Structure 1
Amino acid sequence: MKIRKLVIAVSLLLVSSNMQSQLIQSYGIKAGFNNSKQNWHYSEKSGFDASHIHSITGFNLGLFFESKIFSNFNLLTEITYLQKGHTTVLPRIIRAQDGSGYIEQGENETEHKFHYLSVPIFLKYQTQVSVLGPFLAVGPSLEYLLSYPQSSGYDHFEKLNLALNLSTGVEFSFNFLPKILIEIRYNFGLTNSFENENVTVDNRSIIFLFGIKL
């Protein structure tokens, strides 16, 4: 099932990209930050829980290309560098000064960042009200894992993942300047980053973007 989803997604992305390359009407750059969370779903028999796993703040930067399909509908393609991952928060254990044993003293917080190259394709609906161009967009993305924390526990994470994106924002149009855009996006994994009999791992992100459109 996972392979079939990826094959279908790759086919759609290639067809869409080929069509768009002939019809590009505008392009630009986007950058921003995101709040990401790797959800670790442990099985009951594993004896573990995910209470120590929390979200992480990451950075994203990319290019986009846009072409009109019909009326208010556009095709939007992006190539983006995206950081995901999680933060672990565990108690800091130290030896008691009187030598009687060990005690907790605060917490240790560790970031685990995963670096992806993401290629999303959106169907974008946009209207124009004076200088404002509000829009909605939805579409899949292929996300390739570029690098990950140096730990043998991450060696078997999937290199290629499929995600779905829901996005909304607004473009500001001025006669003497490039268009400025603000966007918020929800990205959630359709395939698991890792899976075995004890745990499955998937990704969720809320992404905030600022951009310039030419």
Structure 2
Amino acid sequence: MKKAVTILFVLVFMCGGFMQAQVVKSISLNSGMVWSTQKFDYKDINYDLPNEYLTGFHIGFAVEFLQHEYFSILTEIGYTQKGFKLEVDITTPDFPEGGLGTMEIKYSYKYAYLSPMFKVRKEFRGFIPYVFIGPRLDYLLEYPTDEFSEESAKYFNDFIFGMTYGLGLEYMFGSFGVGLIFQNQYDFTLAYHHELEEGYDSGVDIKNNAFILDLGVKFYFGKE
């Protein structure tokens, strides 16, 4: 956590220097909903966990560089909730086979992230459609401690490398802009990796995938 805070302060300081040098084109704050799930790959059994998408919260702060008509560079830092939900049968010692109905279990993970991205845009009378893509680094802030013991939690990866890509539509008026952004945060590296070991039922690899829909507000430098 201390590392994440340190990185945040360094980035803010750097952004301030860029603004003074008039390299920064805009700053924006985006917030919205996350729909996430996790893919479970078991090592010794053929089983597809019937998990469903979990709804979470996302917020991001982005700085846009380069005063170009069509191209720019985005750097975004943010916070996102990922995980999945699972519907399971209710069982008791008297009814181990179930039949008492179902209950929903939610597994929520919290991440801070940094993502530099390449953006292509085109303005049409104040409306600006755009697309963006770039690498992303996630840092695990919190995992569901009720479901994972300290022993099993050591198999979580603190840092996850992935990719962010998406599209947006913005309306600009004067120095300000508002818009909708849709993105996919896809992971290349695993969120959890546990090799098959003696004493465990199964080894398993877990990978995140999340879709985000944001409402964003933006301020442009040098616009009137």
* Alignment TM class, shorter chain as reference: 0.7 to 0.9
Code of the residue aligned with 2:31 in structure 1: it is A
Q: CA deviation at 1:154?
A: 3.1
TM-score (norm 1): 0.82
Equivalent residue, structure 2, for 1:116:
111
Once residues 154 and 166 of structure 1 are traced to their aligned partners in structure 2, the CA distance between those partners, rounded to angstroms, is 29
Q: For the residues of structure 2 that align with 1:160 and 1:80, how far apart are their CA atoms?
A: 14
Q: State the partner residue of 2:182.
A: 184
Answer yes or no: is the 8 Å Cα contact 2:40–2:49 preserved in 1: no
SS of 1:104 mapped into structure 2: coil
Which residue of 2 is the match for residue 213 of structure 1?
218
Q: How does 1:9-158 map to 2 (within 5 A)?
A: 21=18, 22=21, 23-43=23-43, 45=44, 47=45, 49-68=47-66, 70-94=68-92, 95=94, 102-150=97-145, 151-152=148-149, 153-158=152-157
**TM-score, normalised on structure 2?**
0.78
1:102 & 1:139 partners in 2: Cα distance? 48
AA aligned opposite 1:213 = K
Residue 123 of structure 1: how far off its partner (Å):
0.1
Runs of 4+ in 1 over 3 A off after TM superposition: none
Q: Give the structure with the larger strand fraction.
A: 1
Aligned to 1:196: 194
> Structure 1 vs Structure 2: percent identity of aligned residues?
24
RMSD, aligned α-carbons: 2.2
1:165 aligns with 2:142: no
- Cα deviation for residue 25 of structure 1 reads 1.9
Which SS does the other structure have where 2:137 is aligned? strand
Gap change, CA 1:102 and 1:26, over 3 Å in 2: closer
Alpha-carbon deviations, 1:184-205, whole Å to 9, x = none? 0011101111223321111111
Tell me the alpha carbon deviations over residues 51-70 of structure 1, each in whole angstroms, 9 at most, x when there is no partner.
33222111011211001264
> CA offsets, 1:137-157, max 9 Å, x none?
000111000111112133420
- Checking the alignment, whether the CA contact within 8 Å between 1:67 and 1:74 is kept in structure 2 is yes
**AA aligned opposite 2:28:** G
> Structure 2: which 5+ runs fail to align?
1-10, 196-202, 220-224
Look up the SS of the partner of 1:89 in the other structure: strand
Tell me whether 200-209 or 190-199 shows the greater mean CA deviation.
190-199
